[in-house]
Amino acid sequence: MTTTANAAALALGDDALVLSHRLGEWAGHAPVLEEDVALANIALDLLGQARVLLSLVGDEDELAYLREERAFRNLQLVEQPNGDFAHTIVRQLYFSVYQRLLYGQLAAGDGEFAGLAAKAVKEVEYHQDHAEQWTLRLGDGTDESHERMQRACQALWRFTGEMFEPVEGLDVDQQALEARWLETVTAVLTRATLTVPEGPRVGAWAAGAGRQGLHTEPFGRMLAEMQHLHRSHPGASW
């Protein structure tokens, strides 16, 4: 792969890897047993995507477990803590809509990621549907579930602008991607009786920050947990 394609594979691979780990943290803690299974399956889908993407760049294990925090190129959105279940669902809604639209564009082209995208977009369609169904159920549910969803929508809104910053090696129409993302997310939130958050979707200081290796405080703690076993037993096989 070209150097620019490597940069894109690393960014997309890190998105999938980090969100997979976050969703995996719900194992045994989801509100219902069925949701334990659903979130685990989404996490495994994302982990599979991460393995393919990172293997295009180098050794997937070394890239996942031996890089320092500043070397990761994932979006800040995916590294945000799970919070309550509403927070997790809104994070998944924002990201899965973006990922489905992105992979749809890549699959329609003839670039280096077309084959991967064509396979992954089918998985991501389920991820988006799952997030939408829960958004509708909680947003238009009880007063408490509605309030929690609204708080989550607002809290994560400032991280969404970074998704549409240019990524070296990705040949996509970012303007069209952003417009369709806004349209889709607005429609879902409206159906769920939720208000689309106001205010900027990215602070001037944070534009493209995750893609540049600048991460939020919770990411360091998550990374230490994710990498602990591999770093504690270097070279071990199981």
pLDDT tens by residue, 15-57: 999 999 999 998 888 777 778 899 999 999 999 999 999 999 9
C-alpha to C-alpha distance for 13 and 48, rounded to whole angstroms: 10
CB 81 within 8 A of CB 218: yes
CATH number of the domain enclosing 218: 1.20.1260.10
Phi, psi of 7 (to 5 degrees): -65, -40
Token pair for 122: 């089918």
pLDDT digits (tens, 9 = 90+) for 145-196: 999 999 999 999 999 999 999 999 999 999 999 999 999 999 999 999 999 9
**Average pLDDT estimate for 200-221:** 78
CB 4 within 8 A of CB 168: yes
Domains of the chain: total: 1
Residue 206's pLDDT is: 54
Question: For residue 40, what are the domain limits?
Answer: 3-232
**Average pLDDT estimate for 218-234:** 91
Looking at every residue in the chain, the average pLDDT score rounds to 93
Split at pLDDT 50, 70, 90, the class of 238 is low
> Which residue's entry shows tokens 């990761």?
72
Evaluate whether residue 223 is within a structural domain: yes
Residue 233's pLDDT is: 86
Evaluate whether residue 238 is within a structural domain: no
DSSP state of 164: G
Q: Could you tell me which residue, 30 or 67, shows the higher pLDDT?
A: 67
Split at pLDDT 50, 70, 90, the class of 205 is very low
DSSP state of 163: G
pLDDT digits (tens, 9 = 90+) for 88-122: 999 999 999 999 999 999 999 988 999 999 999 99
- Percentage of residues of the chain with pLDDT beyond 90: 82
